[in-house]
Structure formats: structure tokens, C-alpha cells
Amino acid sequence: MAGAQITGALGSAFTRFGINLWIYNHTESISLFLVLNIAGALPSVVAAPFASYLLYRVPLRTLILLGNVAVMIGPAAIFLVALTGHHVVELGVATVLLSALVDTFAWPALSAVITLLADGREEERTRINGWLESGDAASGIAGPVLGAFLYSIGGVPLLCGLDVLTVGVAIVATLIAVPLIPRPVGLARRRVSPVRVLVADARWVFDRPPMRRLLLLFAVCNGFLAVGAAVSTPFFLSFMTPRAFGIVETAGAAGLFVAGISVGALKWPEKPAERILLGWGSIAACLLAVSISVRFTPAIVVIQFVLFASIGFVNIASQGLWQSITPLHRQARVFVVRRMIARSTIPVFLAAAAPISDHIVVPFWRWLYREAASPSLWHSANETVQATLIFGCGLAIAAALIVFAPGLVRSFGRARLDTLNKGMP
């Protein structure tokens, strides 16, 4: 099962790398990268009621297979269009949107399957999460490295064609593994509205103050991290070659790999709340550092490694915490609510980033450096604007930690994880 998902992730890494280069080479637009990231975040919020309903009615194994099939559509379309020599930017956006829509129900289904395979053992569940994270990261390492090489040989058609092939392999592997996956318990068959299912699961989450505070922290920090990540891509590409950009992307995937391996192979320490807070603190520091490392690629490679290692630790700690407190029959649906709330700010923050950049950051730098208004110098000044946005995102995450950390530490210090479910179905 893990091998099937990792194989598909390798192909997706090819497509992501190809779409970034494809769009940047033809537009060099920061706003378009923000639109791409909005397309990647919006489905987890808008489609949540329908995803929750699907997880209420459809077996988990069926959803995982449907997700694999649907993910093939976008790369296949780009492959066919790119063969004609055309460059349809909207198709790249649609591919990202479809992939995110599928992930809205496929990821919670896979998370619940992990709990089933772990058979209720917390240590085993944490290890599986770690190995899956490291396997996905390994695909991320190979994706940019091989992607840069393959892009120089066959361009976007070759990358997307390989994506379709790897997803096909993942589908076959999943079909082989399907009989080994137990049916989810508590699968209801009675008629009920999607909104009612979503509201019931949201009430289950908000009745637990520690988890409510944790979700609010993730909602704020995820929004600023999304803006920083979206701006980082054109920021890097403005002064890096595709090969150097591939190395930077690989360093980030290597950080995720190290995080997953360290959790999968070693015993995971206690106090998940402190782990999450420390991870977000490291993420804030990395964004601040990368914003002042203009054109110094070796430093950016190191920072990118630490940044994604921190993201990996935060994701694994949060995932294990939620899996440990959520009843199995609710788990997939509660994870839809969790992701919907934690990512609800991402489309809003990304949509606000462009006007803030155009009407506040750019005029500020024009006022500070009058020569920046000259077209011959504006490209370098544009890098300064991007660095300013990344720096602001790091500063905002640090401020959110200062606000939320004391309450979270107190909440999780008073409540043991195994008591959060008492009296609650």
C-alpha cells in the first residue's frame, strides 16, 4: 500500500516541477503562482461537506482507487496539449485544482487506513506515518533531480507522460493490496445530508478546547506559510537556473525524508504539543533566513532542508496526535473537518497577497529607492519585494506562536490524550 502511494507521488513530483517551469518560462508572474496555490488550497475548504459525505457512504479502499484514477486526468491532458506545442496556462491551474479536489477525500481515507493497519498500536501508527512521510519525501527528492534532467530532454510532455505511467503502476499495486485492507468500521448506510455530517463532526472537534486551539494555530500559520511558499518559487527562479532550482527543491524533499526516517526508525518522544510549537518556530526562523539570503544559493539549500524537515516533524506530530484521540469510525470524516479549518485561511491569505504586494510593498520600495521605478532596475527590485513578503510571513508565524503557545502548553499539560474522548462518541 505504501509502495503504491510512493510510486504515484514520484510521478506527481515530475508534474509539479514541470508545471512550475512551464508557467514561469511563459509568464514570470507572481500573481499566477498565487493563483496556483489558491487552486491547491480551495478544494479542501469548499468541497469539505461532499468529501465528508463520501467518507460516510463509500468504503475507504474505493475512494483511494478513485483518487488514483482521477489524478491521471490532468497530467494526461497537459501531455496531449504540450505535444502540439501549445502552452495553456489555465490547464496547469486546472490540473492543480483537480489534484487538490481528489486529495480532499483521498488523504483522509488513507489516514484512516493507516490506523486500521496499525491495529490500534500508537507506536506502530507513528512509525507508519513516519515511513509514509519519508517515502513521499524520497519521491520529492527524485522528482526535481530527475525532473530537471528529463525536462532538458523531453520537456513537459515527457514529465507528464511519466506521471501518467507511475500513477498507472500505483493503481495496479493498490488493486493488489486492496484485499488486505479491512473495511472501515461504523460505515453508515442510512440517508443523511452532507451538511449534517459535516456539522456533527465539526461539533465533535470544537467540543475539545485543546484541539480547537491547535486548529486555530494551524489555520493562522498555514495561511502565512502558503504565501511564503508561493512567493518563494518565483523568487528562486528569478536568479536560479532550472538545475539550481531542482537542487533547492531536492533539499526540501531531503528535509522531509530525514524527518520521516527519524520518526519511523527512532522512538518518538512525548509531549506532541511542544513538538508542534518547536516545529512552527523553526519554520518561522527559516522563512526569515531565506528572505535575507538573496542570490546565495548554498545558504538557500541549507535553509530549505531545515524548513521542510520542520514541516515534516510538525505534520507527523499533528497526524499522530489526531489519530490517537479520534475514534476509528469518525476518523476519516473528522480529518476532513480538521483539514478544512486548518487550511481555511490559505485561499484568503493568498488572494490578499497580490494586492498587498502591489499597493503596499511595491510603493514602499519605490519610495525608498526612487531608482527602482526605472524599468532597467525593476527586476532586481522585484526580488526585494518578494523577499519582503517572505520575511513578513516568517514574522507573522512567530507572532502567532507568541499568542497561541502559552494556552496550548497549558491545555495539553492539563489534559491527557486518552481523556479527550471520555463521554464523547
Q: All domains of the chain, ordered by start, with CATH? A: 2-417 (1.20.1250.20)
Angstrom distance (rounded) from CA 258 to CA 138: 9
Tell me the pLDDT band of 2, cut-offs 50, 70 and 90: low
Q: Measured in whole angstroms, how far is the alpha carbon of residue 140 from the centre of its chain?
A: 12
268 CB neighbour count, 10 Å cutoff:
19
Tell me the pLDDT band of 345, cut-offs 50, 70 and 90: confident
Asked whether residue 209 carries a pLDDT value surpassing 60, the answer given is: yes
Asked whether residue 373 carries a pLDDT value surpassing 60, the answer given is: no
pLDDT in tens, 148-179: 667 777 777 777 777 777 777 777 776 776 54
Angstrom distance (rounded) from CA 107 to CA 174: 15
Q: Which of 38, 21, 31 is nearest to 143 (CA)?
A: 21
Q: Which residues, at least 6 apart from 44, have a Cβ–Cβ distance to it below 8 Å?
A: 100, 103, 104, 339, 340, 343
Query: Higher pLDDT residue, 58 or 3?
Result: 58
Q: Which residue has the cell 499566477?
A: 32
For residue 369, the one-letter residue type is Y
Q: Which of 125, 109, 44 is nearest to 417 (CA)?
A: 125
pTM greater than 0.85: no
**Residue 372 grid coordinates:** 527602482
Transcribe 128-149 into DSSP letters. HHHHHHHHHHHHHHHHHHHHHH
Is the distance from CB of 235 to CB of 300 less than 8 angstroms? no
Transcribe 166-228 into DSSP letters. HHHHHHHHHHHHGGGSPPPTT---S---HHHHHHHHHHHHHT-HHHHHHHHHHHHHHHHHHHH
Angstrom distance (rounded) from CA 425 to CA 66: 30
